[in-house]
A and B are shown apart, each in its own frame.
Chain A
Amino acid sequence: MKCKKCGGKAVINMRQHNMGLCKDDFLTWLPEQTQKFIEKYKMFTPDEKILVAVSGGKDSLALWDMLQILGYKADGLYIALGIDEGISYSSESQRLTEEFANARDLKLYVVNIASDYGTDLPTLAKETRRGRDKPCSSCGLIKRHEMNRIARDFGYDVLATGHNLDDEAATLFSNTLQWNGDYLIRQHPVLAERDGLARKVKPLFRFYEREMAAYTLLRGIEYIYDECPFAEGSTSTQYKELLNQLENQHPGAKQHFFTKFLSAKKKGLFAEPTTEIVPELHICPSCGQPTSGHDVCTFCRMMGKSI
């Protein structure tokens, strides 16, 4: 296959775009497209301070790398959850993230849940009702809480995560299967800042997961290849596989599924948020972060039960 831009040897075929690209053109094209979507969706400007949530995985490291290439002021945040499960998952992903930051002289915050809260994700997974049902749910709650705390405490304008199109399409698929109206309304590449919650953006939301893997490989970025032991067999992985089967038969299906959803929202197919759907936020008396309830927030409740 030939590169659509220069006619050289392609290293990746993006069937949804009917386009193959060589290494050099792909490594130029991807950051250019990222910049295009940052501007189109008004995610942030070069003057703003960005905090990138970095997990040591391919997507977040690729995002951090691209933001540097594009000239943004982006620092990193790694949240150590204490997942070991025989493969030293957290310590290995932390090592890779620190190596990435040190090699590029980037600022990285490391939050250690065990040191800061006296518990870790495996303990929460065993001891709390939320964790027992779904460890990934506790993980998401911890990450959202800590990302917002660090962004607020250190004065960041925006929080950026490495969610790609496959992540977004799988979430949309899940929310549609369950007709989760409130989640459907909130799902967007940009969530505006409100009531103590930092603005959240997903600059990679238009790229397929395999493009992100190709980018990290071509850029020589080492990332944690092992799956999170708690995520093995997760429903999101199953949905991604289902969507890939569809994509195989109909190139562009995943992209259309998500982008047409965004277009439909823009055209008003989904109702505007009401106070019933987006409840008023209050301040948690324990941690000072916004919460939809009048009492302590879900995060503090979960941590309190575990300690």
Chain B
Amino acid sequence: MRPFGSYEHKNGKITAMKKTAIIILRNQKHEVKAGSTILSALQKLKILPESIICVRDGELVTEDIILKEGDIIKLVSVISGG
């Protein structure tokens, strides 16, 4: 059985979909490539790892974990001003 979301119909053909994960920071969703680390995704998004902590499925995770297809990583901003 084909995993849901991994293939799409395009011009009458079934083609593999790009495998993605989602990174959310302050209600903004960013689609990133699965298969690379969170750190690499953060670098592409120009987000400093020093300014956030990463949560996956309610659990705190380090930035070196490899994103799997369908992962949703919530970034918690840690900077408070004033």
| Interface residues, chain A, with chain B CB atoms under 8 Å away | 1, 10-13, 20, 23, 57-59, 136, 139, 166, 208-210, 212-214, 217-218, 225, 227-228, 230-234, 236-237, 240-241, 244-245, 247-248
Q: Is the CB of A57 within 8 A of B51?
A: no
* Contact indicator per residue, chain B 34-67, by CB within 8 Å of chain A (1) or not (0): 0000000000000011111101000111111000
Interface residue tally on B, bucketed by range: 20 to 34
Write the chain B residue with the least CB distance to A218: B60
Q: Which residues of A contact B28 (CB under 8 A)?
A: none
Q: Is the CB of B62 within 8 A of A20?
A: yes
Q: Is the CB of B50 within 8 A of A213?
A: no
Kindly count the residue-residue contacts between A and B in the assembled complex, taking CB atoms under 8 Å apart.
75
Q: Is the CB of B62 within 8 A of A12?
A: yes
Q: Which residues of B contact A57 (CB under 8 A)?
A: 80
Q: Give, as a whole number of angstroms, the nearest-CB distance from B43 to chain A.
A: 10
- For the complex of A and B, list the 5 residue pairs with the smallest distance between their C-beta atoms, beginning with the closest: A237-B81, A231-B82, A231-B81, A244-B50, A213-B78
Q: Which residues of A contact B81 (CB under 8 A)?
A: 227-228, 231-234, 236-237, 240
Q: Which of B51, B62, B77, B80 contacts A13 (CB under 8 A)?
A: B62
Q: Which residues of A contact B55 (CB under 8 A)?
A: 217
* B79 at the A interface (CB under 8 A): yes
Q: Which residues of A contact B50 (CB under 8 A)?
A: 208, 210, 244, 247-248
Q: Is the CB of A11 within 8 A of B62?
A: yes
Q: Which residues of B contact A13 (CB under 8 A)?
A: 62-64
Q: Give, as a whole number of angstroms, the nearest-CB distance from B51 to chain A.
A: 5
Q: Is the CB of B76 within 8 A of A10?
A: no
Can you name 16 extra interface pairs (CB under 8 A) apart from A12-B60, A228-B81? A11-B60, A11-B62, A58-B78, A139-B82, A208-B50, A210-B53, A212-B78, A217-B76, A228-B80, A228-B82, A230-B82, A231-B82, A234-B82, A240-B79, A241-B48, A244-B51
Q: Which of A10, A213, A237, A247 contacts B62 (CB under 8 A)?
A: A10
| A–B Cβ pairs within 8 angstroms, 5 of them | A1-B64, A10-B62, A209-B78, A217-B60, A228-B81
Q: Which residues of A contact B76 (CB under 8 A)?
A: 213, 217, 225
Q: Give, as a whole number of angstroms, the nearest-CB distance from B35 to chain A.
A: 18
Q: Which residues of B contact A247 (CB under 8 A)?
A: 50
